Amino acid sequence: MDSTLNKIDQDFPILDQEVNDEHLVYLDNAATAQRPNQVVNALTHFYQTDNANVHRGVHTLAERATADYEAARRKVQAFINAPEPEEVIFTKGCTDGLNLVASTYGEANIKAGDEIVISIMEHHSNLIPWQQLALKKHATLKYIHLTDDGELDMEEAARLITDKTKIVAVAHASNVMGTVNPVKQLAALAHQHGAVFVGDGAQSVPHMKVDVQDLDVDFYAFSGHKMMGPTGIGILYGKRELLEAMPPYQYGGEMIGFVHQFESTWAELPYKFEAGTQNIAGAVGLGAAVDYLNNIGMDRVQAHEKEIVNYLLPKLEALDGITVYGPQEPAKHTGVIAFNLENLHPHDVATALDMEGVAVRAGHHCAQPLMEYLGLTATARASFYLYNTLADADRLLEALQATKEFFNHGSRETK
């Protein structure tokens, strides 16, 4: 185990607490990550020294706040290797970014009869915007399904993506099955047919090195809170020529050129898409999260999670009466693992694990069409991040064992 990574939990005081008289093991990172002191301190520092509204301001605090805000943008730009800072737009989160693309690019470019291709494993945030756009425009929504191993069926993808396709939108990594999708290949397929590719990076950017130029994605959205940044901040990357051709999304302060009573012109990128006062402190905090990740190195973050999965997955699959969804090979798996225990509803499992201090999620994970496709109503899900350890994996395994015993009348009879 990477020994430096084992020491970082001192940066996360929230992890040092008892829950139901047990030491907390937080395995709900796919829902939201925890924030290191460095990020919280960046927020506090901003509010206590530089806070002001950005741009337009002539006074010193406004200059400092603007510099902080734009520095955060450039940190993110470098982090995802975007060509230019103007292509990095601050949003409220991944959902906001995907809706932005559907409502502006989609609204302007999708006509009746056009096709939009997504996958059956999409999170609702990368599914309903396209579904509703298709309904509104009388376009056709098509789904790429899965291979038996829980991977995207790329043969089907190649059949579905045709010259009728205008948009292909797929998650880089699944928030349920831990699958990593071949986004670069999908983007190339889309481009062959003149379509744009929208990547949902919510579960990838926090966990692996992402290079938007190498992937050649046209749009790419993700959230700050899943990569240890604050809530209420996210990023939409878009290629300049596409962003420039798009109408604005929201109207208000900062996104304008000239406003007359009956017409207006818009600001240059990125401000055209940043109407009103943005989450300035949130951006600064996201910049601090990027610094934190860079300090460790995304390769090490990924290797650390891989090590946990390599250790845990075989042991988990060996449990009696468990079903693990998604790829069964650790090598193909991110730190997100969905599973069910036989005859036990995942909500009961999650409650029981919580009694053991182990925080997992249970439900449809905002992926109802995937659940329906897999013939499930819900699953439990454990998801790991850089501060988790092999000991956490052991705690999960023990707690699952105890849960099974309890509900299989073991504990109940000894009561």
Partner 1 sequence: MGLEKLNSLYREVILDHSDHPHHKHALPDATHKITLKNPTCGDVINLDIQLSDDDKISDIGFTGEGCTISQSSASMMTDAVMGKSKDQALHMAKTFSDMVMGKQHPQADLDELQDAAILSNIMTFPARIKCATLAWWALQRALLKDDSTEDEEKGAI
Ligand X SMILES: Cc1ncc(COP(=O)(O)O)c(C=O)c1O
Peptide bond into 206 cis (omega under 30): no
The residues, ordered by sequence, that sit 6+ positions from 408 with a Cβ below 8 Å of its Cβ are none
In the bound complex, what is the minimum distance in angstroms from residue 278's beta carbon to partner 1? 17
Closest CA to 84 of 96, 100, 73: 73
Name the binder of 200 from its own copies, partner 1, ligand X, none, CB < 5-8 A by kind.
ligand X
Residue 362 pairs in a beta bridge with 380
- Using CB under 8 A as the binding rule, whether residue 13 contacts its own copies is answered as yes
Give the chain's radius of gyration (CA, Å).
22
Q: How many residues does the chain have?
A: 415
Name the binder of 66 from partner 1, ligand X, its own copies, none, CB < 5-8 A by kind.
partner 1
- Using CB under 6 A as the binding rule, whether residue 274 contacts ligand X is answered as no
Question: Between 286 and 307, whose beta carbon lies closer to its own copies?
Answer: 286
Q: Is 108 helix (H, G, I), strand (E, B) or coil?
A: helix
Q: How distant, in Å, are the alpha carbons of 44, 58, 276 from that of 63? A: 18, 7, 18
Question: Between 62 and 402, whose beta carbon lies closer to its own copies?
Answer: 62
String marking each residue 276-295 x if it binds its own copies according to CB under 8 A: xxxxxxx-------------
Stretch that binds its own copies, among 19-27, 107-115, 150-158, 184-192 (CB under 8 A): 19-27
Name the binder of 402 from ligand X, its own copies, partner 1, none, CB < 5-8 A by kind.
partner 1
Measured from the Cβ of residue 226, the count of other Cβ atoms closer than 10 Å reads: 26
* Residue list 345-364, contact with its own copies (CB under 8 A): 347, 350-351, 353-354, 358-363
Question: Between 199 and 357, whose beta carbon lies closer to ligand X?
Answer: 199
CA–CA gap between residue 334 and residue 30 (Å, rounded):
10
**Residue 178 CB-density burial (10 A; 0-12 exposed, 13-18 middle, 19+ buried):** buried
- Using CB under 8 A as the binding rule, whether residue 182 contacts its own copies is answered as no
Closest CA to 218 of 191, 254, 244: 191
| Of 301, 366, 378, 396, catalytic | 366
- Using CB under 6 A as the binding rule, whether residue 279 contacts ligand X is answered as no
Question: Between 93 and 346, whose beta carbon lies closer to ligand X?
Answer: 93
CA–CA gap between residue 283 and residue 278 (Å, rounded):
8
Q: How distant, in Å, are the alpha carbons of 124, 138, 142, 276, 335 from that of 132? A: 11, 10, 13, 26, 31
String marking each residue 26-65 x if it binds its own copies according to CB under 8 A: x-x--xx-xx---xx--xx--xxxxxxx--xxxxxxx---
CA–CA gap between residue 252 and residue 238 (Å, rounded):
21
Name the binder of 22 from ligand X, partner 1, its own copies, none, CB < 5-8 A by kind.
partner 1
Chosen residue from 99, 174, 203, 204 binding its own copies by CB under 8 A: 99
- Using CB under 8 A as the binding rule, whether residue 21 contacts its own copies is answered as no
In the bound complex, what is the minimum distance in angstroms from residue 381's beta carbon to its own copies? 11
DSSP-derived pairing of the beta strands 336-341 and 22-23: unpaired
HSE-CB for 380 with a 13 A CA cutoff? 27
Stretch that binds ligand X, among 39-47, 122-130, 311-319, 338-346 (CB under 6 A): 122-130
Q: Which two tokens stand for residue 300?
A: 């090490």
* Residue list 247-286, contact with partner 1 (CB under 8 A): 256-258, 265, 267
Task: Give yes or no: 366 in active site.
Answer: yes
CA–CA gap between residue 396 and residue 322 (Å, rounded):
13
* Residue list 8-67, contact with partner 1 (CB under 8 A): 20-22, 55-59, 62-63, 66-67
* Residue list 306-335, contact with its own copies (CB under 8 A): none
Residues carrying an active site annotation:
366
